[in-house]
């Protein structure tokens, strides 16, 4: 089965000077990011890997398990680099809501998917959140930032985040030593007791420290099975195809890419290199603020 690990090229990269892109970084500078390269060729993290075949998909990992940096694929930036999110001029971190420390899985996205904000999901009754579909990878290995792996799709959770549909795919790295034991969402419940319940609790409360209300879920917070999840991925892939072909309005989203030849947004390697070369130089990593280590305690509703 196919497995690929690709590396990151700095675009004012979110790391300390001289550190390899995609390495473990304690902090970052606002506006920093890293884009994907394969060999000497640049490409977009969002576009490069194909999305799904049967019940497997490619995952682009941008947050490692137990990490607190709030990293995302920057969909509005050319070549869609990984960047730490910024709010009111400050770098964002995920709070530690007891008993959870940082992210409790490897967290990433499936390339070539898009949750269309102009499309009302028939299952949730809410429109998409304007991002690639998210993945919680539950394997034993802690992924590297920007690593692209092949995963088994196991199920999905329908988060309603501030009124928007935000699907969370549950998956496991096909290279995981226990991957053969996982074929559907019930296997997670059997093999990792409490993990799915912890996942619901994490997504329900992770924004509460920011003064926001608890998130809600479709299906009363119940996980849907593998077949349902694959259909969700396929649907968001169709929305992405319309986006990359300019058949739907993506607003401020940057669809610049080097691999979809029929796309009106396709550009040359020279154009992509010019974009990277024009970016500001790397800055030293910012130290992690001490308040990031704080625990938050809340009574569960």
CA distances from 279 to 11, 33, 77, 120, 201 (A): 6, 10, 11, 37, 39
Name the region of 76 (left: φ>0; alpha: ψ -120 to 50; beta: rest): alpha
Q: What is the β-pairing status of strands 71-73 and 33-38?
A: unpaired
6 contacts: CB under 8 Å, gap ≥ 6: 36, 37, 38, 48, 146, 147, 148
Each residue's pLDDT, cut to its tens digit, for the chain (301 residues) gives 222 233 333 333 333 222 223 332 233 333 445 555 444 555 565 655 555 555 655 666 768 788 898 888 899 998 888 888 888 888 999 999 999 999 999 999 999 999 999 999 999 999 999 999 999 999 999 988 888 889 999 999 999 999 999 999 999 999 999 999 999 999 999 999 999 999 999 999 999 999 999 999 999 999 999 999 999 999 999 999 999 999 999 999 999 988 888 899 998 999 988 988 888 887 888 888 999 999 999 877 6
DSSP label of 95: -
As a whole number of angstroms, the distance between CA 153 and CA 169 comes to: 7
pLDDT of residue 23: 30
- Domains annotated on the chain, with CATH: 7-289 (3.90.80.10)
pLDDT of residue 280: 84
DSSP label of 78: T
CA distances from 10 to 16, 44, 113, 140, 258 (A): 11, 13, 24, 28, 17
pLDDT of residue 53: 53
């Amino acid at each position: 089965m196919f497995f690929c690990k690709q590396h990151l090229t700095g675009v004012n990269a979110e790391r300390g000077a001289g550190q390899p892109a995609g390495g473990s970084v304690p902090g970052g500078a606002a506006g920093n990011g890293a884009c994907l390269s394969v060999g000497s060729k640049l490409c977009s993290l969002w576009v490069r890997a194909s999305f799904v075949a049967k019940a497997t998909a490619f995952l682009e990992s941008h947050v490692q398990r137990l990490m607190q940096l709030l990293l995302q694929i920057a969909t509005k930036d050319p070549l869609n680099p990984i960047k730490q999110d910024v709010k009111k001029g400050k770098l964002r971190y995920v709070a530690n809501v007891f008993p959870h420390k940082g992210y409790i899985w490897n967290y990433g996205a499936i390339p070539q998917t898009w949750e269309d904000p102009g499309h009302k999901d028939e299952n949730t009754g809410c429109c998409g959140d304007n991002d690639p579909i998210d993945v919680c990878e539950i394997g034993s290995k802690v992924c590297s930032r920007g690593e692209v792996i092949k995963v088994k799709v196991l199920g999905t959770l329908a988060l309603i985040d501030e009124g928007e549909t935000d699907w969370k795919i549950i998956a496991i790295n096909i290279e995981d030593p226990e991957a053969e034991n996982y074929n559907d969402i019930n296997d997670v419940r059997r093999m990792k007791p409490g993990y799915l319940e912890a996942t619901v609790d994490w997504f329900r409360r992770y924004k509460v420290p920011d003064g926001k209300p608890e998130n809600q879920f479709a299906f009363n917070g119940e996980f849907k099975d593998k077949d349902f999840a694959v259909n969700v991925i396929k649907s968001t892939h169709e929305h992405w195809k319309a986006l990359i072909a300019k058949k739907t309005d993506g607003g401020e989203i940057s669809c610049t890419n080097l691999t979809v030849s029929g796309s009106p947004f396709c550009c040359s390697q020279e154009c992509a290199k010019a974009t990277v070369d024009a970016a500001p130089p790397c800055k030293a990593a910012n130290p992690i603020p001490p308040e990031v280590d704080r625990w938050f305690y809340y009574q569960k509703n």
